[in-house]
């Protein structure tokens, strides 16, 4: 599913955020990317999501070598991903339902079908009753659940999350991670980058641990 070979990401000035990293993630696995602040977790997630391009090495996702893809092909590859970031990038001038509808409408789904799927995604994360609310009226945990609904509404094969619980209280964080575990149980490949490793004993993910850009 995801195979990295000698993957390196070097930024201008010579800083290597990810250094010579190799690993394999099988379809349907739940994987935690752990490590200290600045270890390279966010960069690795962005590489897998084709938001960043590697400087060296190869990264194959679903049989596609992202290192060799033309830029015009990247949006089509990203359709297989659901992305959840610490900064949810929600549209605060639109309702919760409209936020989740957007990727479906961009993909060309008829509006009636898109509304049904968006409502099903909101129901999955416990927000169907708040579908008309704007994000500003939601709590931090509800905003993150809304971001997850938007990420999964296109039924991705891979769900990627970068520090999804960083700004949440313990109870909200557990609820978010329970959602990821639910998606994992139905066959979605789940990859979560986080410095909070307290949930390893609860969910038993496979662990990739980074230290200064290197895989331990």
In this predicted structure, the answer to whether residue 109 has a pLDDT above a threshold of 80 is: yes
Three-state secondary-structure class, residue 24: strand
pLDDT, position 141: 92
The string of DSSP letters for 31-59 reads: EEEEESTTSSHHHHHHHHTTSS--SEEEE
Give how far Cα 141 sits from Cα of 115, 144, 145, 166, Å: 23, 5, 6, 11
In this predicted structure, the answer to whether residue 197 has a pLDDT above a threshold of 80 is: no
pLDDT range class, residue 198, cuts 50, 70, 90? confident
Average pLDDT, the chain: 92
What tokens appear for 160 in the block? 């990627």
pLDDT (mean) for 112-116: 96
pLDDT, position 99: 97
pLDDT, position 186: 93
Strands (E), the chain: 2-10, 16-25, 30-35, 56-61, 64-65, 81-85, 158-162, 189-193, 206-211, 214-215
Question: Would you give the distance in Å from CA 121 to the centre of its chain?
Answer: 16
**123-163 pLDDT, tens digit each:** 999 999 999 999 999 999 999 999 999 999 999 999 999 99
CB distance 172 to 144 below 8 Å? yes
* Higher-scoring residue by pLDDT: 167, 43: 43
pLDDT range class, residue 74, cuts 50, 70, 90? confident
* Higher-scoring residue by pLDDT: 178, 76: 178
């Amino acid at each position: 599913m995801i195979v990295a070979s000698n993957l390196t990401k070097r930024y201008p000035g010579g800083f290597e955020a990810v250094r010579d990293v190799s690993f394999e993630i099988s379809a349907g696995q739940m994987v935690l990317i752990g490590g200290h602040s600045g270890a390279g977790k966010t960069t690795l997630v962005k590489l897998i999501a084709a938001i960043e391009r590697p400087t060296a090495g190869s990264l194959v996702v679903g049989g596609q070598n992202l290192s060799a893809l033309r830029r015009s092909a990247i949006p089509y590859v990203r359709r297989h991903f659901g992305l959840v970031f610490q900064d949810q990038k929600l549209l605060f001038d639109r309702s919760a339902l409209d936020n989740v509808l957007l990727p479906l409408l961009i993909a060309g789904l008829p509006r009636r079908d898109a509304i049904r799927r968006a409502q099903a995604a909101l129901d999955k994360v416990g927000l169907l009753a708040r579908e008309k609310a704007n994000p500003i009226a939601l709590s931090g945990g509800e905003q993150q659940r809304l971001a997850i609904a938007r990420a999964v509404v296109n039924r991705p094969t891979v769900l990627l999350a970068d520090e999804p619980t960083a700004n949440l209280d313990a109870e909200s964080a557990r609820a978010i991670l329970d959602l990821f575990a639910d998606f994992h149980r139905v066959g979605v490949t789940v990859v979560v980058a986080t410095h909070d490793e307290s949930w390893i004993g609860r969910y038993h993910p496979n662990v990739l641990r980074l230290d200064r850009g290197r895989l331990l």
